[in-house]
Amino acid sequence: MPVLDQLGRPQRSLRLSVTDRCNLRCTYCMPEADYTWLPKQDILTFDETVRLVSRFMAAGVDRVRVTGGEPLIRQDLAVLVQMLAGLGLRDLALTTNGIHLPEQGSALRDAGIRRVTISLDTLQRDRFRALAGRDRLDAVLAGIDHARQLGFEQIKLNTVVIRDRNDDELVALCDYAESVGAELRFIEYMDVGGATQWDRTQVVPRHEILARLGDAFGGVEPVSDRDWAPADRYRLGTGLIVGVISSTTEPFCRTCDRTRLTADGMWYTCLYARDGIDLRSALRAGADDGELSGLIERVWAGRRDRAAEDRLALRESRRALAGADELRTNPHLEMHKRGG
Ligand code: SAM
Ligand code: SF4
Ligand code: SF4
């Protein structure tokens, strides 16, 4: 029997951050001028990572998503992916900004990545530069094109929707996704660590996204296949399927089966959690497999997290989770450290 947490949720999905470094500076994730990087000696080796993932699997996890920071910056990522694939996971997926897919995509596919999610917030070059801090739209589009040619089982595109920044591109992004055979998911702008410039007036709520899509595409119907996945899926009047992740205005904590492991082995049972569990220290202190599994199961059994629902209750007083000062003293709060 899988261990259930205090709200009756099993643990099934792990976001595995393999680096806190990134080659972009998205304003909703890394808007600051400077960052405190994880020390090299703290980064888990591939063997350590695989050992921890195997302990999560013993506790019920059967899906792993490799993320970061930008995961393709981690040297020899395909070697790690191959080692993870050897564990027999039900699903091994990747979230990336796509820039390095042309060089690494085929090795990653051969190593065992089946599904790829690529972030794409705009199709306009100037806007991309403003939103991502670098002039790399062409590189991202080339990455998407390359992923298509490689024939991954599934390609998804993630768009963070921000009012007055890119919310006039919903239709254009749907058309683009259709043209490349990818499923697009609109993500509400979240007040997570890293998003120090978050303001609730910039959030475009799910109902508004759907109303706009319905107007433009002649209707929108829910697709009733919601599992434990965070995205609700909809069929537009044209037949195109899109997802909406409404973590900010209609959170899905009661079905949340996912946790996050940082590149230095800190484990967070909630995206918003201020404290994590230091699995690296336990591992390096010589804990055996049973002790590591026992620790993971004990923590999961005590889990009560439902932070996005708690934050919803803040209403008008809701602000960014953390300011730049707090992030400097607790850099593990950063989204680019714990993985999106
Ligand atoms: N660098 C990779 C990428 O951008 O796809 C992987 C890591 S990134 C942290 C993972 C996802 O988190 C991205 O799709 C990104 O758009 C999303 N994300 C980061 N900050 C966010 C925020 N404040 N609100 C909503 N989504 C956010
Ligand atoms: Fe980098 Fe991804 Fe964060 Fe953008 S969202 S800064 S690509 S980690
Ligand atoms: Fe899960 Fe925490 Fe996000 Fe709720 S806020 S869905 S508990 S990670």
Nearest ligand for residue 139 CA: 2
The sheet that has 266-268: what strands, in order across it?
220-222, 232-236, 241-245, 183-188, 154-161, 115-119, 91-96, 63-67, 13-17, 258-261, 266-268, 277-278
Pairing of strands 266-268, 277-278: antiparallel
Separation CA 258–CA 10 (nearest Å): 9
Does residue 68 have its Cβ closer than 6 Å to ligand 1? yes
Instruction: Report how far residue 220's alpha carbon sits from residue 199's, in angstroms, rounded to the nearest whole number.
Output: 28
Look at the pTM and tell me if it is higher than 0.95.
yes
- Side chain identity at 87, as an amino acid letter? L
**Cα(237) to centroid(ligand 2), Å:** 32
Ligand 1 pocket test target in 101, 134, 335 with most atoms within 8 Å of CB: 335
Question: What pLDDT digit, counting tens, does each position of 259-273 carry?
Answer: 999 999 999 999 999
List, in order, residues 6 or more apart from 288 with CB less than 8 Å away. none
For 12-30, what is each residue's pLDDT tens digit?
Answer: 999 999 999 999 999 999 9
The model's pLDDT over 59-98, given as tens digits with 9 standing for 90+, comes to 999 999 999 999 999 999 999 999 999 999 999 999 999 9
Give 132-154 pLDDT, tens digit per residue.
Answer: 999 999 999 999 999 999 999 99
Q: Which of 22, 116, 334, 337, when mutated, tests ligand 2's pocket best, judged by the most ligand atoms within 8 Å of its CB?
A: 22
Neighbours of 45 (CB within 10 A): 9
Kindly identify the ligand whose nearest atom is closest to the C-alpha of 230: 3
User: Can you give the pLDDT at residue 2?
Assistant: 85
Q: How many helices (H) and strands (E) does the chain have?
A: 12, 12
Ligand that lies nearest to the alpha carbon of residue 258, given by its number in the listed order: 3
In testing the pocket of ligand 1, which one of 27, 65, 137, 160 has its CB within 8 Å of the most ligand atoms? Answer: 160
Confidence of residue 230 (pLDDT cuts 50, 70, 90): low
**Would the CB of 192 count as within 6 Å of ligand 1?**
yes
Average pLDDT over residues 272-286: 97
Q: Atom 2 of ligand 3 has which residue's CA nearest to it?
A: 270
Indicate the class that CATH gives domain 13-159+256-338.
Answer: alpha beta
